[in-house]
Structure 1
Amino acid sequence: MRITISGPPGSGKTTACNNLSEALGLKAVVFGKIFREIAAEKNISLIELGAMAEKDPTIDKSIDERIVEIARENEDIILESRLSAYMLKRNDIPAFKIYLYASPEVRMARIGVREGDSFEKAMADTIERQASEAKRYMMYYNIDINDMSVYDLIVNTDDLTPDEVLELILDAIEG
């Protein structure tokens, strides 16, 4: 079974992806990690890489082509990225598509803890990052990332533990 997990920064995507991978024994690919690795290789921040990607579509397109390639090569995989559900749908690749979200306050607190930043810095950086992503996805793919119609399951993670999120996902997959 192919599964995609999408959502905004701090929504719990990576945690859910790792937990689901362990529960189902499926390989998981986290594409945000690839974007972070590119930024690190260039010795720049995610925001700076996002600004570069607004001018150079090859940055996003190479990652997104990899999503499709990996999905085609693997019937049993979990793909975690902002666009994985859209990319698989556009390429007629079947998958169970999950969208996780949380309120901005919860997401910024999670990001601040993860990145070691203050709430204010996490808020500013994340707002800028999300705006850049939304702009690029519309510009390059005509994708409105606020369009939830591609998803099979949408989960608000605000008041849920990682185990509760996993349980909801497993119930939906098995149901």
Structure 2
Amino acid sequence: MIITLGGLAGTGTSTTAELLSEKLNIPFISAGSVFREMAAEKGMSVLEFSEFAEGNDDIDKEIDRRQALKAKQAENLIVEGRLSAYFVDNADLKLWLVTPFDVRSKRIAERESKTVEVAKSEINIREKSEALRYMEIHNIDISNMEIYDLIINSGTFDPESLSEIIIQTLKVI
């Protein structure tokens, strides 16, 4: 079973992937874990590698390529990342989490110890930048939801309920 799980910042993709991994006894990888792996290969800290990656489209492409390769080589895997569904073509289920902007902002503010206003501003800047990058690098419109099998509002459900919805969905596919 190959599952992709995407969503914008603050939607709970990491929490959901970890919980699903535990409940289904399926390993998971994230774009962040692949990024950290690549930094280690270069002998760099994550911060150093982040600076190195700025303006280097090949880093983004390599993260996507590695996630797709790991999914192709796996029998069971949860692949968490904003663009995972576009590159993991052997996915049995492609999920996208949505959450109201105010809820995401509050979650990020709490997680990163900042005010909600600062979080909102940073989210807006980051998401505009990412949307442009995804279009320029991959010709992907991140707002197009047609690729997903299931879209869930993670602002409505706690992580436990969310994981149960996904598990129940897996029983019918």
Which of 123, 137, 140 is equivalent to 1:140? 137
Q: Give distance in 2, aligned partners of 1:10 and 1:133.
A: 15
State the 4+ residue runs in structure 1 displaced beyond 4 angstroms: 33-38
d(CA) in 1 for partners of 2:91, 2:22? 22
| Contact map agreement 1:88 1:95 (CA 8 A) in 2 | no
Aligned in 2, Cα 1:42/1:20: closer, same or farther, shift over 3 Å? closer
CA distance in 1, matches of 2:160, 2:116: 25
Three-state SS of the structure 1 residue aligned to 2:95 is: strand
Q: 1:60 to 1:78 in 2, by over 3 A?
A: same
AA paired with 2:47? N
**Tell me, what secondary structure is at the counterpart of 2:94?**
strand
Aligned partner of 2:82 in structure 1 is 82
**Structure 1 equivalent of residue 120 of structure 2:** 123
- The separation in 1 between residues aligned to 2:125 and 2:33, in whole angstroms, is 19
2:167 maps to which residue? 170
1:109 to 2:113 alignment? no
Q: 1:151 aligns with which of 143, 148, 155?
A: 148
Alpha-carbon distance, 1:127 to partner: 1.4
Aligned-partner residue type, residue 160 of structure 1: F
With normalisation by structure 1, the TM-score equals 0.87
Residue identity matched to 2:104? R
Aligned 8 A contact 1:5 1:79 in 2: yes
| Alignment pair present for 1:43 and 2:47 | yes
Gaps of at least 5 residues in structure 1 are none
Gaps in structure 2 of 5+ consecutive residues: none
Residue of structure 1 in register with 2:23 after alignment: 23
Aligned length: 167
Deviation at 1:159, TM superposition (A): 2.1
Deviation of residue 35 (structure 1)?
Answer: 4.4
Give me the TM-score of the superposition, normalised by structure 2: 0.88
Q: Aligned partners of 1:103 and 1:49: how far apart in 2? A: 33
Amino acid in structure 2 at the alignment position of 1:7? G
* Partners of 1:42 and 1:3 in 2: CA distance: 26
- Spell out, residue by residue over 1:53-79, the C-alpha distance to the aligned partner (whole angstroms, 9 max, x if none): xx3211211111111111111120000
The answer as to whether partners of 1:3 and 1:78 remain within 8 angstroms in 2 is: yes
